[in-house]
Structure 1
Amino acid sequence: MTTEQQKTKQLYVILIFFFIVTLQGLEANIRLPKLISDGMILQRNTNVAIWGYSDTNTLISITFLNSTKTVTTGDKGIWIANFNTPNDPGPYQISITSKDEQIIIKDILLGDVYLCSGQSNMELPMRRVAPLYQDEIQNANYPNIRYFEVPKEYEFSAPRDTLSGGQWLKLDENSIDEIAAVSYFFSKEIHQDQNVPVGIINSSLGGSPIESWLSLDDLAPYPLAFEEAKNYQNQEFRDSIIQSDQNRIQNWYADLNQKDLGIKQNWKLGNIDSTQWNTINIPDYWSNTSLGNKNGVVWFHKRFKLDNNHKGQKATLNLGRIVDADSVFVNGRFIGNTTYQYPPRIYTIPEDVLESTNTIIIKVINERGQGGFVDDKQYNLQFADGNEVDLVGAWRYKLGAELHPLRPQTFIRWKASGLYNAMIHPLIRYRFSGVLWYQGESNVDNADEYDTLIKTLIAKWREDWNDDNLPFFVVQLANYLQSNDEPTESDWAVMREAQQSVLDLDHTAIAVTIDIGEWNDIHPLNKKDVGHRLALAAKNIVYKEDVIYQSPRIDSVIVEKDQIQVHFNTFGSNLVIQGEHPRGFAIAGKDRKFYWAKAELVKDCVILKSPKVIHPQFIRYAWADNPDTANIFNEEGLPAAPFRNDSD
C-alpha cells in the first residue's frame, strides 16, 4: 500500500469515527413533545408532568419553579418529571439539560387548561362565523389565552405517544381566524370572569362519529365498531380502499369533464347567448324546480348592471350555500371555488373586474343526492359603501352533463378507534380543568346506543387522566332541518335524549342549544351562546360559583283525568314563556298518537289538554329535529330541555 493510500485510509477511519460520534450525539438529543413548547399554559394548583425523549439511561435535569429534578430516561426512551404548580400565573421558564445539551422553554403561564373535542361544530373556526362577530375578530387581543390545535390524524395499529405537530398560539388578531369559535367564546369568558390564563387544546375532526374517539378495548361491547377497528389495523386493507376510492372518483370526474358541454363550449367566459337556456329561481333545491334532481354538472348564468360609482370597485359576492361544489366566474374571470357543500360561499371580487354590465357564471357539480342553492341565505353582491345587488330570483341554467351518482368516499379517518389513538392518547400526560364535548351529528343514525357510548367515552377518558371527577360539559345538538306542522318521530330528538343521559354521571353538564340552531345549516353561526352556556357550567362545577347554569328540565308528570300537569325543575330560577302561551308540547293516550296540546303556565307547572286526547298518558316537549315552536326558558335565557315519557 502506497503512502498516499495509507493517508486516504486513515482519513476514512477518522471520518467514520466522527460520523459515529455525531450519530450518537444526535441519538442522545433531548426531544420534546409538541405540547411542551414555548407559550404553553400548564394547569395551575396541581401536579403536572414535564416529559420528553432521549436515549435509554440518559440523565436529564429539569429546572422549573425554583426546583431541579434529575431523572433517567427509561427503557422506552421516555423521561418524566413532576412538579406541583402554584396559583401564580407567571410567566415562567423551564430549563431541560443533559450532559451535552440544554433546552429553554419560554413564556410559560399557569392557568386553567381545557380539552375541546368532537366534530365540526367544535372545530369550526372564527373565520367561518365572521359575519356575526366582526368586532370580536377585529379587537381580539388576549395574550393570556393560548390555543393548541391537535393535528388531524388517525392511527389504528396502537395508541400513539406523541403528536406530529402543533404549536401554542396567543389569541390575537393574527391567530383568531383559525381558532375554534366555541373554544374562543368559552375561554374568553372564563379568562375575564376568573382573571386567569386559559389554555385550550382542541382535538376535533369534522364528520367524526363517537366511535372514532374510543379505544379498541372500549369498543368490544359494540361488535360492528370493534370489527371495523380491527379491520382497519391492516395497512394493505386501508391502502386498497384508498386506491379504489381514488380510481373511482378520478374516473367519475374524468367522465364528467369529457362530457361537459360547458367545458367544451367555454361557458365560463360568460360571452354566451343564454336566452335559450331554461329559467330557475335561486335559491332552491333542484328537485323543486324544472331542472329536477340531477347528478353531474349544471351551469348557471345571470347578468346585472352597475352604476359608474361601483364600476371597477372591489366587492363581496355572497352565494349562500351550494350543494355540492361550485366554481364562480365574473366577466370571464375566475373568482373562487368551494369543493363541498357546507362552507358559506363568500367570494371577493377584486378591483377592475366589475363593469357596467356584468355576467356571473356558476358551475355547480352535484355528486349525489339533492343538489341546489340553500334557502334563507344571503345571495347578493356587497360593496364597501353598503350598497348591494340582490341576486335572488331568476337565473338561466343549462345542464352540462348528467352522470350516475358518485358513491361516497370512504373516510378512513372517521373509522373506529383511529382518532383516539392519534389525537387523544398523546395528550393523557397533560392536565386539564375539564373537557368540552360537541359531537353527535354523525351518530344520529345510531342514536339509540349513544347513551352508552358517551358514558363509555367519559369513563375511559377519566381513567386515562386518572381523574374520576374530571368535568365533562356536553353540547346538546342544536335545532336543525325543516320543522314539522304535526308531532312526529325524530332521530335528532333521540340523540338529544341520549346526550342528556350524561347527567346520570357526576361532574357533568349539558348545554341545551335547541333555540340557536339554523334549519338549513348543520353549522349554525351562533357559537357565542354555546361558549357562554358551557362557561356557565364551568363557573359552577369547576369554580364553585353560585350561578344558574342548568336549563329547566321536566321533573314530574301527573295525569289528572283529561289533563296532564308537567312540573319543571328550574334549579333556582323561574320559567319564562317567549310568547303568549307555552308551545312545543304534544300529548297522547294509550295509542301513543300525539297531538299538539293547549298549554297553560302556572308558576313552574304547565297544564296540558287536547280535545283529541280524552285520556292522556304521555307527553313530549320539543321532540323534533327542529323544535322551533318550543318556547319555555328560564329567567337567564336558557331553553328548557327536550323531554318525553313514552320511551319504554
Structure 2
Amino acid sequence: MTKNTILRTLCVGLMIAGMSDGVHAQEAARVDMKPLLHPLFSDNAVLQRDRPVPIWGWTEPQGQVVVQLDGDKQQTARAGSDGRWMVSLAPHAAGGPHLLSVMGSGAGEVATRQNVMFGDVWLCGGQSNMAYDLYGANNPEAEIAAANYPNIRLLQVPNAIKATSIQTFETTGAWQVCSPQTVARFSAVGYFFGRKLHHDLNVPIGLIDDSWSGTPGQSWVSGPALAAMSDFKPAVDALKQSESAAGTPPHLDNPNAPEVLFNGKIAPLLPVQIKGVIWYQGESNADTAAEAEQYRTLLPVLVNDWRAHFGARTPFHIVQLSSFKAPDDAPSDDPWPHLREAQLQTAQRLPHTHLVVVIDLGEEKNVHFRNKQEAGLRLAMSALDHTYGVKVDSSGPALRGAKVVKGAVELTFDHAQGLNLKGDESRVFAVADADRKFHWATPQIDGNKVTLRSVDVPSPVYARFAWSNNPRAALYNAAGLPASPFRTDPDAK
C-alpha cells in the first residue's frame, strides 16, 4: 500500500471509534476480567518440550499464586501491581498427559487443567490460504473422517483488532484434541503440516492457528518495528495520536490497518514458547508493483520482529505464492512474480528461514487452491530437514548461477538430480539482450544445467523462469519438488 492508502485505511477504522461509547465500556470491562490462568493453558494444551516453559495469568495485585504439575513440583509466584504472575516450568521431554493446577490468593481462585502434553508447538500465521479450513481442501469428507489424532492439539486464536497490545484473549479460545468433530474448521495447511510431523516424529504436536483472511503483512508487525519503515510510520503515528486524543485505545474494525493484528492476535500469546512458525501470506501485498516492491523490506521486518518476541533463532518456513490467474501468452512483468522474489530473497538472506515453493499447485480461477495436502506436506518436509535435522528432500532445483555462452544463457542448479520440465516448456523460460525485452526461449536440459536459446534474441544476456502470475510449466527434480521462479536481471534486488 502507498502511504495515502495506508492512512485512508486507518482513518476509516478510527471514524467508527466514535460511534458507540457503550462498545468502549464493554471492551474495557472484558480487558479488566483477566483469568487466573491464561487460556493458552487450557485442558488439552501442548507445552513446548525440552526447554523452560513460562506459565502465567492474573490474580489480586501482589497476591501469591501456587502452581503444581502432577500434584508436586510446587512453585510459587507473587503477582505484580497489575496482578500478573508468572512461573517457569522446568524442561520436560515429550509426553503426557499431565495435570496443571494453579491456586490464587483470591477467594475461590483455583484452576485445574487436564490432559496437558509436552511436545512441539507451531504457530501457523498468515492470511486466507493459511486460514482456509479442511472443507477447502481436496477430499474434505474423507480427510475429516480420518482425523483421529489424540496427540495433535488445535488452538484457534480469537480475532481481535487492537490499537495497542492486549495480554489475553477477549473471547473464548481453548485447545482441542484433533478429531473429526474438531478439525473441520481448522487450518488445512496447518493440519496437514502437523499430521506429517506427528507421523514422522511421534511426539505431540500443538498447532496454533493465528491467521486472518485477506490481511496484509503490515497488520501483523508491531508498531515499533513498523515505525522504523518510512512507508508505515505516518499510519503508526496517527494511531498513537488518536489514542492520546481519546485517552483510551480507539475501537477499530479494520484488520488491514498497520500493527492491529500484532496487537490483537500475536501480543496475547507472549511470551509463549514455540518450536517455530509456518507463514503463508502475501496475496494482499501483491495488488500493485509498489506493494510487491515494498514487501522486500516488509517481510524481513516481520520475521525479525516476531523473533524479537518469540526468540532470535525461531525457525520460519515461508510458503511462496502459488500460481493464479490466466496464463500469459507473452512474457510479462506483473506484481506477483516480484512478490515471490521478495519471499525467495528473505529466505536466502535471513538465518533459519526457509522457502516452500507451491508454484505448481495453484489454480487459474481459485486463489485458494485445493491441494492443501501437498502444501502442508512440503512445509513439513522443510521443517523436518531444516529444523529437526532429518535427512529428507525438501528443496526443488535452486539456481546456482547463470552465464552467457555463445548465443545462449546457461543456468546451473543445485538440488537438480533428475531435472525435468512438466507443462508447456516453450513458454516458461524467457531471455533478453541488453534492451531487456524478453522473448520465450527453448530450454535444453543436460544434467544440472539448462541452456536457453531463442530465435528472437540472437545474443541473450538475461534469463527469467516462471516469471508470471500463472506459469505454464514447472521445473522439478527427482524428489518431485519444483523450482522457485527467478530472474537474472541486474536490478533483481
Could you tell me the TM-score, scaled by structure 1's length? Answer: 0.66
The alignment status of 1:527 with 2:372, answered yes or no, reads yes
Q: What does the per-residue CA deviation read over 1:328-357, in whole Å, with 9 as the maximum and x for residues that have no partner?
A: xxxxxxxxxxxxxxxxxxxxxxxxxxxxxx
CA deviations over 1:586-620 (Å, ceiling 9, x no partner) = 00001101111111100010011111111111000
Q: Is the aligned partner of 1:71 residue 2:107?
A: no
Gaps of 5+ in 1: 1-26, 244-409
CA distance in 2, matches of 1:168, 1:584: 45
Structure 1: which amino acid aligns with 2:86? I
Report the Cα offset of residue 224 of structure 1: 4.0
User: Which residue identity does 1:569 align to in structure 2?
Assistant: D
Partner AA of 1:425 in structure 2: A
Q: Alpha carbon RMSD of aligned pairs, Å?
A: 2.2
**1:543 and 2:385 correspond:** no
* Equivalent residue number for residue 117 of structure 1: 125
1:287 aligned partner: none
Gaps of 5+ in 2: 1-31
Asked whether the 8 Å contact 2:161–2:253 carries over to 1, the reply is no
Pair 647,126 (structure 1): closer, same or farther in 2 beyond 3 Å? farther
Aligned to 1:126: 134
d(CA) in 2 for partners of 1:545, 1:510: 17
Query: What SS is found at the alignment partner of 1:631?
Result: strand
The reply to whether residue 641 of structure 1 matches residue 492 of structure 2 is no
Pairwise CA distance, 1:429: 1.4
Give, in angstroms, the shift of residue 647 of structure 1: 4.6
Query: Given the alignment, which residue of 501, 513, 536 partners 2:345?
Result: 501
Q: State how far apart, in whole Å, the 1-side matches of 2:338 and 2:82 are.
A: 46
Does residue 473 of the first structure (1) align with residue 317 of the second (2)? yes
Cα shift at 1:630:
2.4
Contact in 1 for aligned 2:426/2:440 (Cα 8 Å): no
Shift of 1:490: 1.6
User: Residue 469 of structure 1: CA displacement?
Assistant: 1.1
Label 1:147 to 1:647 Cα distance change in 2 as closer, same or farther (>3 A): farther
Q: How does 1:144-223 map to 2 (within 5 A)?
A: 144-156=151-163, 158-164=164-170, 165-223=172-230
Structure 2 CA distance, aligned partners of 1:77 and 1:218?
28
Deviates more, 1:46-55 or 1:163-172: 163-172
**CA distance in structure 2 between the partners assigned to 1:135 and 1:102 by the alignment:** 41
> 1:343 matched to which residue of 2?
none
The alpha carbon displacement at 1:162 in A equals 1.1
Corresponding residue for 1:441?
283
SS in structure 1 at match of 2:473: coil
For 2:253 and 2:129, the matched residues in 1 are separated by: 18
Q: Tell me if structure 2 keeps the 8 A contact 1:33–1:51.
A: yes
Say whether residues 1:59 and 2:64 are aligned partners: yes
After TM superposition, the structure 1 = structure 2 runs for residues 46-445 of structure 1, keeping only pairs within 5 Å, are: 46-64=51-69, 66-99=72-105, 100=107, 101-129=109-137, 132-156=139-163, 158-164=164-170, 165-233=172-240, 234=242, 412-444=254-286, 445=288
Q: Deviations over 1:412-456 (max 9, x none)?
A: 221001000010011121111110100000001201021211111
SS of the equivalent of 1:412 reads coil
Partners of 2:362 and 2:423 lie apart in 1 by 19
Q: TM-score, normalised by structure 2?
A: 0.87
Letter in 2 for 1:203: D
- The CA distance in 2 between the partners of 1:211 and 1:579, in whole Å, is 36
The Cα offsets for residues 148-200 of structure 1, whole Å up to 9 and x where unpaired, read as: 111111101x2111111311111111112111100110011111111111101
Q: CA deviation at 1:50?
A: 0.8
- Counterpart secondary structure, 1:203: strand
| 2:304 equivalent in structure 1 | 459
Give 1:143's aligned amino acid.
P
Cα deviation for residue 471 of structure 1 reads 0.2
- Give the match for residue 39 of structure 2: 34
Q: Distance in 2 between matches of 1:198 and 1:647?
A: 44
CA separation of 1:566 and 1:30: change in aligned 2, threshold 3 A = closer
* DSSP-derived class of the 1:91 partner: strand
Aligned residue type for 2:47: L
Match of 1:615 among 459, 463, 483: 459
Shift of 1:237: 10
Within 2, Cα distance between the matches of 1:67 and 1:177?
Answer: 38
Please state how far the C-alpha of 1:225 moved relative to its aligned partner: 2.4
Give deviations 1:298-356, integer Å, cap 9, x for gaps: xxxxxxxxxxxxxxxxxxxxxxxxxxxxxxxxxxxxxxxxxxxxxxxxxxxxxxxxxxx
Q: Identify if the C-alpha distance between structure 1 residues 104 and 456 changes in structure 2 by more than 3 Å, giving closer, same or farther.
A: same
SS for the counterpart of 1:69 is strand
Answer yes or no: is the 8 Å Cα contact 1:85–1:110 preserved in 2. Answer: no
SS class of match (2:468): coil
Separation in 2 of the partners of 1:88 and 1:631?
Answer: 40
CA distance in 2, matches of 1:555, 1:455: 22
SS of 1:35's partner is helix
Q: CA deviation at 1:574?
A: 3.5
Quote the Cα distance in structure 2 between the aligned partners of 1:580 and 1:412: 42
Summarize deviations over 1:233-291 as a string: whole Å, max 9, x none.
Answer: 537999xxx99xxxxxxxxxxxxxxxxxxxxxxxxxxxxxxxxxxxxxxxxxxxxxxxx
Contact 2:94 2:203 in 1 (8 A): no
CA distance in 1, matches of 2:51, 2:260: 30
Per the TM alignment, residue 228 of structure 1 is displaced from its structure 2 partner at its CA by: 2.1
Paired residue type of 1:98: G
Separation in 2, partners of 1:146, 1:625: 36
Identity among equivalent pairs (%): 34
- Per the alignment, in what secondary structure is the counterpart of residue 255 of structure 2? helix
SS in 1 for 2:40: coil
- Match for residue 332 of structure 1? none
Deviation string, structure 1 residues 121-165 (Cα, Å, up to 9, x no partner): 111011233x53321112221111111111111101x21111113
Cα pair 1:586 1:594 within 8 Å, conserved: yes
Indicate the SS of the match to 1:414: coil
> 1:594 matched to which residue of 2?
438
How far, CA to CA, are the matches of 1:224 and 1:565 in structure 2?
A: 39
- Counterparts in 2 of 1:581 and 1:146: CA distance versus 1, 3 Å: same
- Aligned with 2:344: secondary structure? helix
Aligned partner letter, 2:303: I
Given the alignment, which residue of 493, 508, 513 partners 2:358?
A: 513
Are 2:292 and 2:335, in contact at CA under 8 Å, matched by a contact in 1? yes
SS of 1:460 mapped into structure 2 = helix
| CA deviation after TM superposition for structure 1 residue 59, in Å | 1.0
The CA distance in 1 between the partners of 2:443 and 2:230, in whole Å, is 45
Flag the structure with larger Rg. 1
Cα-to-partner distance string for 1:358-389 (whole Å, 9 max, x where unaligned): xxxxxxxxxxxxxxxxxxxxxxxxxxxxxxxx
Instruction: Provide the residue aligned with 2:470 in structure 1.
Output: 626
AA aligned to 1:635 is A
